[in-house]
């Protein structure tokens, strides 16, 4: 379990084609404190540490994960938002995040708004029922508040504000129109939709 509060920006240093795709990620984490088998969210994807050394750790990324995450994410040089798993008793600063990607969105615009940037993202109809103004959403592993929801014939457009601090401590500082982005819906919205489904059948 995660919170969507990013604690490091890692960089993919090496990609190896093994049984799965092994990705080595360069990090500022003290990897001596990371156990093999630990979970780390990498731009919103919960992955298991399978190897490590000073200043880096490695994860295996399955073909299924590659097919369900942002195109080009698992390539050398790619920067990733990193978050270590929540420990019991730690502050829940964002919202409950599972590290499971529900869909891929596309950035359609990044516009300066005061000292922040308004980012608008389009997503498919499978995401539309799970977003609401002032609700929570996770984009590339970052916990954000939804400020705008606009339904359309082919899906939904979501607007969020990125404050300067968030831009400086995540990969969002270089976000641009056309970028694909991992989306995880609020886990509470997922369960409410499931309950509504069964209530409608009753």
Q: Which residues pair with 17 in a beta bridge?
A: 21
Q: Are 123 and 191 found together in one domain?
A: yes
* pLDDT for the residue numbered 72: 94
Instruction: Please indicate, yes or no, if residue 92 is contained in any of the structural domains.
Output: no
Q: What is the pairing mode between strands 39-42 and 79-84?
A: antiparallel
Instruction: Assess whether 195 and 121 both reside in one domain.
Output: yes
In a domain, 20, yes or no: yes
Q: Please say which residue of 57, 84, 111 terminates a domain.
A: 84
> Of 32, 50, 84, which closes a domain?
84
Q: Mapping DSSP to helix (H, G, I), strand (E, B) and coil, where does residue 164 land?
A: helix
**131 and 158 together in one domain:** yes
pLDDT of res. 166: 96
Mark whether 78 and 140 lie in a shared domain.
Answer: no
**One pLDDT digit (tens) per residue for the chain, 202 residues:** 899 999 999 999 999 998 899 999 999 999 999 999 999 999 999 999 999 999 999 999 999 999 999 999 999 999 999 999 987 666 666 678 999 999 999 999 999 988 899 999 999 999 998 999 999 999 999 999 999 999 999 899 999 999 999 999 999 999 999 999 999 998 877 667 666 656 766 6
Cβ-count burial of 122 within 10 angstroms (0-12 exposed, 13-18 middle, 19+ buried)? middle
Report yes or no: 57 and 34 within 8 Å, Cβ to Cβ.
Answer: yes
Domain boundary among 51, 84, 117: 84
Q: What's the rounded Cα separation, in Å, for the pair 132 and 67?
A: 27
Q: How much is the pTM? A: 0.91
Residue 61: what pLDDT? 97
> 98 lies in a domain?
no
Are 155 and 123 contacting, i.e. CB atoms less than 8 angstroms apart?
yes
Residue span of the structural domain in which 42 resides: 8-84
pLDDT digits (tens, 9 = 90+) for 152-178: 998 999 999 999 999 999 999 999 999
Mean pLDDT of the chain: 92
**Residues 80 and 145 both lie in one domain:** no
The reply to whether 192 and 110 lie within a common domain is: yes
In a domain, 2, yes or no: no
CB of 191 within 8 A of CB of 96? no
| 111 vs 79: CA distance, rounded Å | 22
Residues 123 and 155 in one domain: yes
Helix (H, G, I), strand (E, B) or coil at 16: strand
Please give the tally of structural domains in the chain. Answer: 2
CATH number at residue 180: 2.40.30.20
Task: Say if 65 falls within a structural domain.
Answer: yes
Residues 194 and 116 in one domain: yes
Q: Are 141 and 6 a contacting pair, CB within 8 Å?
A: yes
146 plus 183 within the same structural domain: yes
Quote the tokens at residue 157.
């457009």
Specify if 112 maps to a domain.
Answer: yes
53 in any annotated domain: yes
Would you say residue 3 lies in a domain?
Answer: no
Judge if 130 and 190 occupy the same domain: yes
Q: Report the C-alpha gap between 103 and 97 in whole angstroms.
A: 14
CA separation for the pair 201, 133 (Å, rounded)? 27
- pLDDT in the model for residue 138: 97
Contacts (Cβ under 8 Å, ≥6 apart) of 171: 9, 43, 79, 80, 81, 140
Q: Are 66 and 47 in contact (CB under 8 A)?
A: no
User: What pLDDT shows up at residue 167?
Assistant: 96
Whether residue 116 sits in one domain with residue 196? yes
Residues in the chain: 202
Residues 61 and 118 both lie in one domain = no
């Amino acid at each position: 379990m995660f919170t969507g509060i990013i604690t490091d920006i890692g960089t993919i240093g090496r990609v190896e084609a093994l049984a799965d795709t092994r990705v080595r990620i360069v990090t500022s984490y003290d990897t001596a404190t990371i156990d093999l088998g630990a979970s780390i969210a990498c731009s919103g994807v919960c992955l298991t540490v399978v190897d490590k050394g000073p200043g880096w750790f490695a994860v295996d990324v399955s073909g299924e994960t590659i097919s369900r995450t942002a195109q080009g994410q698992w390539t050398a040089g790619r920067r990733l938002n990193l978050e270590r798993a929540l420990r019991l008793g730690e502050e829940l600063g964002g919202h409950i995040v599972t590290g499971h990607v529900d869909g891929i969105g596309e950035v359609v615009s990044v516009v300066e708004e005061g000292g922040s940037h308004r980012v608008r993202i389009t997503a498919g109809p499978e995401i539309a029922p799970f977003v609401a103004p002032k609700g929570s959403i996770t984009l590339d592993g970052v916990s954000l508040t939804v400020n705008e929801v606009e339904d359309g014939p082919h899906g939904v457009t979501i607007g969020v504000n990125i404050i300067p601090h968030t831009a400086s401590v995540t990969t969002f500082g270089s976000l641009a129109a056309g970028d694909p982005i991992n989306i995880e819906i609020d886990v509470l919205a997922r369960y409410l939709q499931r309950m509504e489904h069964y209530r409608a059948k009753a």
